[in-house]
Structure 1
Amino acid sequence: MTALNLRALKHAIDNRHLLQLHYHGGNRLVEPQVLGVHNGRHQLLSYQVAGFSESGEVPGWRRFDLIEASELTVLPVTFDGPRETISGELHGWDEILAVVH
């Protein structure tokens, strides 16, 4: 994960911008909620609102391992704010870099 991408992700979270990214075979549209390090890897906890899903369940919560993500685009479209997280999703991070407010 490059410093440029981390800055873009922090900006998206701080300003509540939707993200588009390519992950595991398809494009996804997400509301980024938490950026951090989990088990030594940069990850993004997001609420996916549209796009490809291996499970077929959209909308829903997704945790993306950012080393496997590509074509990250911060969109000019904003979202309302934080969603109620799944119990425990804010625990267990090595480090939290940004959280939507």
Structure 2
Amino acid sequence: MIASVGNAAALAFESALAAEDLHPRHFAVLRGLRDGEEHAQQQLASSLGIPARRLVGLLTVLIERGLVERRAIGHSKGATVPVKGGDARLDLKRA
């Protein structure tokens, strides 16, 4: 019974993200940025357990959607910070 409820919740979550043309990994990146602080891409990839090469693709989608932006931090080539200090929100209530 509990497994059925968990599975239904996971499917509803994935459907809600799919309606926004996003994947659960995109959501993981947004959650990783929720503190509103600047994060170097390598640091973010490491903390999320996502390979750095894969993170670049995920960030590209989020940048194109206006959910995050990339800025230079110190000597780093690129860093990722949330847009609007982490206030970007997705309306996932439609699903």
Identify the TM-score tier after normalising by the shorter chain: under 0.3
TM-score w.r.t. structure 2 length? 0.28
Q: Which has the larger radius of gyration?
A: 2
TM-score w.r.t. structure 1 length? 0.27
As a proportion of its length, which structure holds more helix? 2
As a proportion of its length, which structure holds more strand? 1
